[in-house]
Structure 1
Amino acid sequence: MPPKKPDDYVNVTTSLAYLLVYNFAQVGGWTMIAFAMGLKWVAKGSYTDFYGAVEPMLLIFQTAAILEIFHAMFGLVKSNPVLTAFQVFSRIIVTWGILYIVPEVHQSVGVAMLLVAWSVTEIIRYSYYMCGLIDSIPYALMWCRYTFFIILYPIGVTGELLSIYGALPFIKDRGLYSVSMPNRANMSFSYYHVLIFVMLSYIPIFPQLYLHMFAQRRKMVSASPKPKAE
């Protein structure tokens, strides 16, 4: 194997620095989101104002996750680009295609569920990735990464489905993101029916992803931390 050129080391170092900054920013962003919800809960004792407390931060940091598709495409990380794209865009649809355009759902329990599940999941996930970049993942963090999903994943998915379902009547009545005939293109598009399809797609996809995480858990987490080799 030929020795690496100086440019290779520069590229690796630059990529590592970029990924560290990206993951650090995401940890900070989602921590602020979780903290804002906590303050709102302490102040009012209710989940109904969670979205209003976090909307700007949610839009920024959830949208920034689109970069992860390019990370996978360009080989900066080992993730599958297709799977990454599906996971990111499912969140983007809920964030911009439901929460942003249908304020009537903001105070629903479904929105509170997904916000709590997303924030805790992302704080753990990005912390795990950040520590992995420097080859120093605490066992406790690894355990959290491959254990908390057991509860958080169903809560988040349920919250997403409840939010989409709650928004459907408003989207249908207002014709949001839809195109009706007649028009110059002589074609129609129903965002309402697209969302129904998205909801139905959870049926085959959610069990596969959930079981995949259990398989990863069996691989990554043991009964106790393994001692390091001398």
Structure 2
Amino acid sequence: MARDASVVRRLYLSVYNWIVFIGWVQVSWSMILALLENGYEAVYAAVEQHLLFAQTAAIMEVTRYSFYGMKESFGFTPSWLLWLRYSTFIVCFPVGMVSEVGLVYIVLPFMKASEKYCLRMPNKWSFSFKYFYASVFFMALYAPVYPQLFRYLIAQWKKALAKAKTT
């Protein structure tokens, strides 16, 4: 069982790190091309979308990597950094959930009108998909699932901080 968890963890971290890497490569590549082709005035317009994606992921990494940097470099982390590393989710998780649901709610009329990402019948798969209804369904799932996820994260948080107190 522990070996399976290790494989899943490594797979997740590999995929996550490659996605972040690709995001920053896109920012760098877009920046270099815009700079060479159109000068520095065109850089932000060229990198804006890639940069927003990469920055969103990077915000969470500030505490994470400072924590691991201290741990690897000095063999310990200050208690305040340990607490910060494991406590930022208390603010970030609810803010993220409210932001996701709020933004999806705001764009629902556009989704319905544009029918973007829809698959209509008939087609070779005999399958229909409407992004609007999938979004409404997943928004509705937040109500029963969010409290369970948050309780689980709180339990993990308590476990991580309790383990740190004993070491």
**1:162 Cα shift?**
0.6
1:137 to 62, 66, 77: 77
Q: 1:126 to 1:203 in 2, by over 3 A?
A: farther
Q: Is the Cα contact below 8 Å between 1:146 and 1:216 reproduced in 2?
A: no
Structure 2 partner of 1:33:
none
Q: Identify, as 1 or 2, the structure richer in helix.
A: 2
Shift of 1:179: 1.1
String of CA shifts for 1:150-180, please: whole Å, max 9, x gaps: 2221111100111111111111111111012
Structure 1 CA distance for aligned equivalents of residues 52 and 72 of structure 2: 25
Q: After superposition, give the CA deviation of every residue in 1:27-84 in whole Å (9 maximum; x if it has no partner).
A: xx6xxxxxxxxxxxxxxxxxxxxxx98521244x48xxxxxxxxxxxxxxxxxxxxxx
What residue in structure 1 maps to residue 121 of structure 2? 181
Gaps (5+ residues) in structure 1? 1-14, 30-51, 63-114
1:88 aligned residue: none
Distance in 2, matches of 1:130 and 1:202, equals 35
Secondary structure, aligned partner of 1:137:
coil
Structure 1 equivalent of residue 64 of structure 2:
125
Aligned residues: 129
Aligned to 1:151: 91
The TM-score with structure 2 as length reference comes to 0.58
5+ residue gaps, structure 2, are 1-9, 25-45
Q: Percent identity?
A: 31
Aligned CA-pair RMSD: 3.7
Tell me the distance in 2 between the aligned counterparts of 1:184 and 1:226. Answer: 59
Cα distance in 2, alignment partners of residues 143 and 175 from structure 1: 45
Partner Cα separation in structure 2 for residue 187 and residue 173 of structure 1: 21
Cα distance in 2, alignment partners of residues 215 and 172 from structure 1: 39
Is residue 42 of structure 2 the alignment partner of residue 56 of structure 1?
Answer: no
Q: 1:219 to 1:162 in 2, by over 3 A?
A: same
Q: d(CA) in 2 for partners of 1:126 and 1:56?
A: 21
1:166 and 1:203, CA in 2 relative to 1: closer, same or farther beyond 3 A?
same
- How much does 1:184 deviate? 3.9
1:196 maps to a residue whose letter is V
Counterpart of 2:94 in 1: which secondary structure?
helix
